[in-house]
Amino acid sequence: MVDSPLPALRAQYEEIARRLETVTGGAEREGVKREIIAYFKQVDSLIGELSALKEEVRKLVDRFKQVAASTTEAAAPEFTGTQKVLMKEPANSLARINVGYICLKKRIFGEAIEHLSKAIRLDNDKKATLYAHFYLGLVYLQREMYEDAQTFFQKTLKLGPNLIEAYYELGRAYWFGGDQDQAKRAWEHGFKANKFNPWGKKCQDTLALALQGQEPPRT
């Protein structure tokens, strides 16, 4: 931390005060007067600068509060809001898979599995059941439990064959699980299922990489 100027200013003050007590002649008195005026201007200037700096610090604090508030709003509302829904409606499968997905993104895998498995057991919303299987596949893929990931992606495609992203992820689960031929077939099926879908195009691009002897992306 930068040293405070106060000790030096205080010492200067004490020196002027001592000289003022012993001043005698007019010339000496005028000299002390000039020192007092200069000292006052120095202190007054510092006070002005510190006051301006104080205002800048206040602005900095306000900016920090705004950033902190916006960051909290961006990161938390979906999670806390959905949790409130679950507290009121524990059988709300869509809310449950949203919490499961957020846990997945935060790499809280145990809670993700709990919420997504619960949504599958409830089986009261087709879309929720579909995505619960898909997100569980992603959980196990990230945990490098490739056979489990394959199982959930296969079930996803049985429930929703139009979810082309599941073909892409199934291919990755096969590839990193050591079955490169099955991986290529999964990407080929994904591209053929919908050539105009962005994930169909990604299946085609990944298949091309694999045929060139390159590794598909891990994320």
> Same domain, yes or no, for 126 and 84?
yes
Looking at residue 2, what is its pLDDT? 56
1 lies in a domain? no
CATH number for the domain that contains residue 113: 1.25.40.10
pTM of the model: 0.62
Q: Label residue 94 exposed, middle or buried (CB < 10 Å: 0-12, 13-18, 19+).
A: middle
Tell me: pLDDT of 83 over 80.
no
* pLDDT tens for each residue of 12-38: 888 888 877 887 777 778 888 888 888
> Same domain, yes or no, for 173 and 217?
yes
Provide the number of structural domains found in the chain: 3
Q: What share of the chain is helix, strand, coil (3-state, %, to 5)?
A: 80, 0, 20
Of the ranges 15-29, 73-87, 152-166, the best mean pLDDT one: 152-166
For residue 144, the enclosing domain spans: 76-160
Looking at residue 65, what is its pLDDT? 64
